[in-house]
Amino acid sequence: SVRLVNGTSLCSGRLEVKSEQSWSSVCEADFDQQDAEVVCRELGCGAPSVLQGALYGEVEAPMWTKEFQCGGNESTLLDCRRSDSARRTCSPGKAVGLTCS
Protein backbone atom coordinates (compact mmCIF):
# COMPACT_ATOMS: atom_id res chain seq x y z
CA SER A 1 0.00 0.00 0.00
CA VAL A 2 0.98 3.64 -0.24
CA ARG A 3 0.60 6.76 1.88
CA LEU A 4 1.50 10.42 1.71
CA VAL A 5 2.98 11.82 4.93
CA ASN A 6 3.71 15.33 6.27
CA GLY A 7 1.17 16.88 3.90
CA THR A 8 -1.89 18.98 4.58
CA SER A 9 -4.32 16.19 3.68
CA LEU A 10 -4.55 12.53 2.75
CA CYS A 11 -3.94 13.64 -0.84
CA SER A 12 -0.60 15.41 -0.40
CA GLY A 13 2.72 14.60 1.19
CA ARG A 14 5.93 12.63 0.93
CA LEU A 15 5.35 9.26 -0.68
CA GLU A 16 5.95 6.09 1.31
CA VAL A 17 5.40 2.54 0.10
CA LYS A 18 4.66 -0.40 2.41
CA SER A 19 6.35 -3.68 1.75
CA GLU A 20 6.85 -6.52 4.22
CA GLN A 21 5.45 -4.56 7.16
CA SER A 22 7.71 -1.53 6.82
CA TRP A 23 7.22 1.81 5.11
CA SER A 24 9.92 3.01 2.71
CA SER A 25 10.59 6.42 1.18
CA VAL A 26 10.74 6.70 -2.60
CA CYS A 27 13.38 8.63 -4.56
CA GLU A 28 12.32 10.98 -7.36
CA ALA A 29 14.64 9.24 -9.83
CA ASP A 30 12.55 6.04 -9.56
CA PHE A 31 9.18 7.72 -9.96
CA ASP A 32 7.39 9.62 -12.73
CA GLN A 33 4.07 11.15 -13.74
CA GLN A 34 2.42 7.82 -14.64
CA ASP A 35 3.41 6.44 -11.26
CA ALA A 36 1.92 9.54 -9.61
CA GLU A 37 -1.38 8.98 -11.41
CA VAL A 38 -1.59 5.48 -9.98
CA VAL A 39 -0.80 6.66 -6.43
CA CYS A 40 -3.47 9.36 -6.54
CA ARG A 41 -6.00 6.83 -7.86
CA GLU A 42 -5.07 4.29 -5.19
CA LEU A 43 -5.66 6.90 -2.47
CA GLY A 44 -9.02 7.87 -3.95
CA CYS A 45 -7.77 11.37 -4.75
CA GLY A 46 -7.92 13.44 -7.93
CA ALA A 47 -5.24 13.60 -10.62
CA PRO A 48 -1.68 14.52 -9.60
CA SER A 49 -1.14 18.27 -9.75
CA VAL A 50 2.30 18.69 -8.21
CA LEU A 51 5.21 16.26 -8.28
CA GLN A 52 8.20 17.89 -6.64
CA GLY A 53 11.14 16.59 -4.68
CA ALA A 54 11.36 17.19 -0.94
CA LEU A 55 8.31 19.41 -0.79
CA TYR A 56 7.28 17.42 2.30
CA GLY A 57 10.63 16.46 3.80
CA GLU A 58 13.64 14.36 2.88
CA VAL A 59 13.92 10.64 2.27
CA GLU A 60 13.92 8.68 5.51
CA ALA A 61 15.30 5.19 5.90
CA PRO A 62 14.51 2.65 4.77
CA MET A 63 14.59 3.67 1.14
CA TRP A 64 12.65 1.90 -1.60
CA THR A 65 15.20 0.37 -3.97
CA LYS A 66 13.14 -0.42 -7.05
CA GLU A 67 12.13 1.79 -9.93
CA PHE A 68 8.39 1.94 -10.62
CA GLN A 69 7.33 1.49 -14.25
CA CYS A 70 3.60 2.14 -14.25
CA GLY A 71 1.63 2.46 -17.44
CA GLY A 72 -0.74 4.83 -15.64
CA ASN A 73 -3.82 2.59 -15.65
CA GLU A 74 -2.97 0.29 -12.75
CA SER A 75 -5.19 0.25 -9.64
CA THR A 76 -2.34 0.29 -7.14
CA LEU A 77 1.32 1.24 -7.24
CA LEU A 78 2.41 -2.26 -6.29
CA ASP A 79 0.55 -3.61 -9.35
CA CYS A 80 3.05 -1.75 -11.53
CA ARG A 81 6.10 -3.37 -13.01
CA ARG A 82 9.23 -2.72 -11.01
CA SER A 83 12.88 -3.03 -11.85
CA ASP A 84 15.84 -3.06 -9.54
CA SER A 85 17.28 0.39 -9.16
CA ALA A 86 21.04 0.74 -8.99
CA ARG A 87 20.55 3.45 -6.39
CA ARG A 88 20.93 2.76 -2.72
CA THR A 89 20.92 6.40 -1.71
CA CYS A 90 18.87 9.40 -2.70
CA SER A 91 20.26 12.91 -3.10
CA PRO A 92 18.95 15.55 -0.69
CA GLY A 93 15.87 17.23 -2.08
CA LYS A 94 14.86 14.18 -4.12
CA ALA A 95 12.26 12.44 -1.96
CA VAL A 96 9.01 12.13 -3.90
CA GLY A 97 6.60 14.86 -2.79
CA LEU A 98 3.17 14.57 -4.35
CA THR A 99 -0.04 16.58 -4.35
CA CYS A 100 -3.16 15.07 -5.90
CA SER A 101 -5.94 17.43 -6.92
pLDDT tens digit sequence for 36-82: 999 999 999 999 998 888 889 888 778 898 999 999 999 999 999 99
Handedness of CA 30, 34, 38, 41 (dihedral sign): positive
Does residue 19 carry a pLDDT above 90? no
Average pLDDT score, the chain: 92
In this structure, the chain runs to a length of 101
pTM, rounded to two decimals: 0.92
Q: What is the pLDDT of residue 91?
A: 85
Domain ranges in the chain are 2-92
CATH number of 2-92: 3.10.250.10
Does residue 13 carry a pLDDT above 90? yes
**Under a CB-based contact definition with an 8 Å cutoff, are residues 62 and 22 in contact?**
yes
**Under a CB-based contact definition with an 8 Å cutoff, are residues 48 and 36 in contact?**
yes
Does an H or E element contain 48, and which? strand 48-53
Q: What is the pLDDT of residue 55?
A: 87
